Structure 1
Amino acid sequence: MASDIPIIDAHIHLYPKSELETLAWCTPDSPLAKQHSLEEYKAAFSSSPNPVKGFVFLETDRKNDLEAGVKDGSGWKYPLEEVSWLKRIALGQPKDGEGHTKEDASLCAAYIPWAPLPSGPAAMEKYIELAQKEAGDSWKKVRGFRYLLQDKPDGTGLTDNFIESLKLLGRKGLVFDLGVNQHERGRIQLEETVEMIDRAHEGVPDNEKVVFIINHMCKPDLTVYNVLTDTSYIAWRTAMFTLSKADNVYMKLSGGFPEMSDSLKKRSPEEIFEAVSPWLSVVLAAFGPSRIMFASDWPVCTVGVDGAWGKWQKLVERLCYMASLTDDEKKRIWAGTAIAAYGLEL
């Protein structure tokens, strides 16, 4: 990879120690139950031969109460607190001990907060108004929202309220970051994703169709040995080509390490690539360089993996090399696709 190709990391998480108790998943025994700041993130990519020009922050699943939020907004306290945290990063207004500086503000290309899509468009309008007020001058860096579906009951993303919320985002020019998990939840998550996107776009003018940015390749099971006969791989591969038929659906090349066996993730980037190339190759073939984007999923990628950021970078580099991509195509994967999909202003 030419050293002059810049990188936009399209998927990272950050949180200060002072707000750990607001994270829904955070238990004392979690390997991620400690501050993960910009200072640590910069150290993670410090050995990159290519300049990291910026990142896209994704919401970190803060505690919330949808019902209380609709009633009086109280159930949205912690997600809105996360907006305030990102505002401090994006505007260069750190508090002591949070691990970032005024100069770090330029690294924040965009941030994607949580939003209560299951509550419907009226609640979404109310929430977006509160989020915009909380974000202040950093609102221009809010390029969309996420509501994780990977751990929610089947059918959550197919309710009329959810679909109408997606259509609202499209009308407002805001993207939806989509997180599903085939590895743990099975093909139902893929099937519902296809239906959800179809319904959200049905009958909608092209300029109002919500942009979907799919996280982590839908989290396929990367422990599969024989992809020629494995039904989960075949279902995943079919879904990738189906999902790619809509022009405004993008895919993140990210999230691979948690779906691998412990032994594989400890091996060299070359050996890992050999094992997971059937998945990476399908994503590239289905979406092409113009609709896939590099993303590290830091710090989740670090669990059980030494030098995870650099190791994932080398995997994506090898994919570009093996596919004989041109420099322009490489630039799309490393930064251009994220800029286009999120509408970044750098």
Structure 2
Amino acid sequence: MADDFPVIDSHIHLYPESEISTLAWATTENPLAKQHSVCDYKAATVGMHVQGFIFLETDRKHDLEAGAKDGSGWECPLMEVSWLRRIVLGQPKPGEGHDPEDASLCTAYIPWAPIPSGAAVLEKYLAKAEEAAGDSWDRVRGFRYLLQDKPDGTALGDGFIESLQLLGRKGYVFDVGVNQHDRGRIQLEETAEMIDKAHDGVPEEEKVVFILNHLCKPDLTVTDVHKDTSFIAWRTAMFTLSKCSSTYMKLSGLFSEMDDWLRKLDETEIFDAIMPWLSVVLAAFGPSRIMFGSDWPVCTVGVEGAWVKWRAIMERLFYMASLEAEDKKMILSGTALKAYGIKKEQRSEFEFVY
């Protein structure tokens, strides 16, 4: 790499073999339905100057209705919190694929939460999650409830907005997972409306921070970005979403939106193909509000050396945009530390000051 700056990978997933059955998507034919551990991640990023990662919830099975009544529908998500507790506190069970010395790698983790159920239920869940997290609770910097596969209107319900406002009051962020490629522009429009509703009438210091995942999963099969209506709608949404100063974007997840033939090309050819999307996000949000994320191990499906290839694509972006060293540092680590509110004493572990 031309610039060997420290990296905080803002978006990875982990799960042990013993808990595969708790994952909502883990069918027997899914290539990701096997253990993906810290040791596996370290092997995939060896020599890449990764100083930490941010774990994102992995869509564990849950029952919102049961959880609202007695908490029994939250067993699997809370099991995930306990799994992260073992990583952060350096207390692995045999065969889980992490060692005590790996504890500091997990810079922060973002569990699932029952956001649609409203503030009262969310308070109840947070108490249970804190109990499951134990001494790792200070690494919990926000929550996610995937919207990409939920019915239209989910993010605009009164309970959803009420929960987002509670997160803001408590200083937590909300990671936004939507999918324009499969669900169309309505997911982008509802995301903008959700942010407006969550911030309406809220003091600036209590407004929840939104972190958009994977460029909102745009349609990368578009061939004419000047005329294609889906690209134009996505581009318009990026500039609309960026108007909110407490909204950030992850440069992540694009391998999953590519056709098979594109994934197999080298990093220069892939960069040329996706440059219109990367350049829009850079122009809309700027280096201080975009962050590097690998989406490991999802990024590995159909891609040889995926983590290293994505990092090289980012290096190409830096070069083509003529970014200064401080801007590169922000994208590779600083923005994530800022957006997730990583404590100052913890930031020093990553040798980065912004």
Task: Report the TM-score range of the alignment, normalised by the length of the smaller protein.
Answer: over 0.9
Secondary structure, in 3 states, of the residue corresponding to 2:34? coil
Counterpart in 1 of 2:181? 183
Secondary structure, in 3 states, of the residue corresponding to 1:9? strand
Counterpart in 2 of 1:30? 30
Contact 1:214 1:250 in 2 (8 A): yes
Shift in alpha-carbon separation, 1:3–1:318, aligned structure 2, 3 A: closer
Q: Please list, as runs of the form range in 1=range in 2, the aligned pairs for 1:93-108 lying within 5 A after superposition.
A: 93-108=91-106
Counterpart in 2 of 1:14? 14
Sequence identity (%): 71
* AA aligned opposite 1:116: P
Counterpart in 1 of 2:294? 296
Alignment pair present for 1:163 and 2:161? yes
Q: Partners of 1:254 and 1:44 in 2: how far apart?
A: 16
Q: CA offsets, 1:278-326, max 9 Å, x none?
A: 0000000000000000000000000000000000001111111100000
Q: CA offsets, 1:51-88, max 9 Å, x none?
A: 11100000000000000001000000000000000000
Secondary structure, in 3 states, of the residue corresponding to 2:152? coil
* AA aligned opposite 2:67: G
Q: Partners of 1:33 and 1:90 in 2: how far apart?
A: 23
Contact 1:174 1:211 in 2 (8 A): yes
User: TM-score when scaled to structure 2?
Assistant: 0.96
Structure 1 unaligned runs (5+)?
Answer: none
Structure 1 residue ranges, 4+ long, deviating more than 2 angstroms after superposition: 1-4
The equivalent position to 2:109 in structure 1, one of 111, 129, 134, is 111
Q: Please list, as runs of the form range in 1=range in 2, the aligned pairs for 1:277-292 lying within 5 A after superposition.
A: 277-292=275-290
The equivalent position to 2:274 in structure 1, one of 273, 276, 279, is 276
RMSD (Å) for aligned C-alpha atoms:
0.7
* AA aligned opposite 1:303: V
Q: CA offsets, 1:210-256, max 9 Å, x none?
A: 00000000000111111010000000000000000010000000000
Q: Partners of 1:113 and 1:68 in 2: how far apart?
A: 18
Deviation at 1:343, TM superposition (A): 1.2
Deviation at 1:130, TM superposition (A): 0.5
Q: Partners of 1:43 and 1:3 in 2: how far apart?
A: 21
Contact 1:6 1:335 in 2 (8 A): yes
Secondary structure, in 3 states, of the residue corresponding to 2:40? helix
Secondary structure, in 3 states, of the residue corresponding to 2:148? coil
Q: CA offsets, 1:22-55, max 9 Å, x none?
A: 000110000101000011100111142xx11100
The equivalent position to 2:124 in structure 1, one of 118, 123, 126, is 126
Q: Partners of 1:156 and 1:137 in 2: how far apart?
A: 33
Contact 1:289 1:333 in 2 (8 A): yes
* AA aligned opposite 1:307: G
Secondary structure, in 3 states, of the residue corresponding to 1:255? coil
Structure 2 unaligned runs (5+)?
Answer: 348-354
Secondary structure, in 3 states, of the residue corresponding to 2:316? helix
Q: Please list, as runs of the form range in 1=range in 2, the aligned pairs for 1:1-346 lying within 5 A after superposition.
A: 2-48=2-48, 51-344=49-342, 345-346=346-347
Secondary structure, in 3 states, of the residue corresponding to 1:293? strand
Contact 1:47 1:310 in 2 (8 A): no
User: TM-score when scaled to structure 1?
Assistant: 0.99
Q: Partners of 1:2 and 1:175 in 2: how far apart?
A: 33
Q: Partners of 1:126 and 1:295 in 2: how far apart?
A: 31
* AA aligned opposite 1:238: T
